[in-house]
Amino acid sequence: MLAPQRERDAFVQRQIEARGIRDRRVLDAMRSVPRELFVPEDQRAHAYEDHPLPIGAGQTISQPYIVGFMIEALGLRGGEKVLEVGAGSGYAAAVLSKIAGEVFTIERIGALVRFATDNLAAAGCSNVHVRHGDGTQGWATEAPFDAILVSAGAPDVPPSLMHQLKVGGRLVIPVGKDPSTQELVRVTRTSDGDWSYEDVAGVRFVPLIGKEGWEDEVDGWQERAPRTRTRRSAKP
């Protein structure tokens, strides 16, 4: 049984809007997605608590506030073509689907690909396409994308993802050489051969595994809420 709409409304007001998320598109999208559909049955009583929850295969569904924070950082206006790396249970893709025109999401763990696909179908998210593969290399046959969201921490921004952005497109990704902490970075493609970089917040995510990410799992990574940054950086 789905939670009443008033419970989602109260959750978004208390846990998301009250903590600084202002984009009405993001807030409305989060109100419309039943988070309980995206967690295992034994976790559904905790679906509207603002912290990560286990979804199997050693992975978690992200804290709702972080989902809202990262999607707001993409600056979506509606109707875009979006790539998500790290589908997990499908929750962030579902929220994105209420704003974007089409969402393409990649997951490296087969069991989670099936879980996300079933969850998205149950939620009626017909504009989301799920693929099993190495998300660090993107989805070249569907590129370019207006926006790319990466839900895991990388040692560097994967070049494949940078090149799959449209000019003017934005990529939001946690980046850090130290697995104990990352910066949430927003990369904007300013021309065919140039990108600008902005540090948005301090975060901690599970590792981004793949050819252009970490080679294997790193122990001790636990997602945490962002510490907002105001500084900007220019990187090559």
Residues ≥6 apart with Cβ < 8 Å to 15: 48, 50, 64, 65
Beta bridge partners of 233: 197
Place of tokens 């049955």: 41
pTM for the model stands at 0.90
Strand residues in 86-193 grouped as ranges (E): 102-107, 128-132, 145-150, 165-175, 182-191
Domain 5-228: CATH architecture, name and number where available: 3-Layer(aba) Sandwich (3.40)
Mind telling me the catalytic residues?
62
> pLDDT digit string (tens) for 161-199?
999 999 999 999 999 987 668 999 999 999 999 999 999
- Domain residue limits, the chain: 5-228
Alpha-carbon radius of gyration of the chain: 16
> pLDDT digit string (tens) for 79-128?
999 999 999 999 999 999 999 999 999 999 999 999 999 999 999 999 99
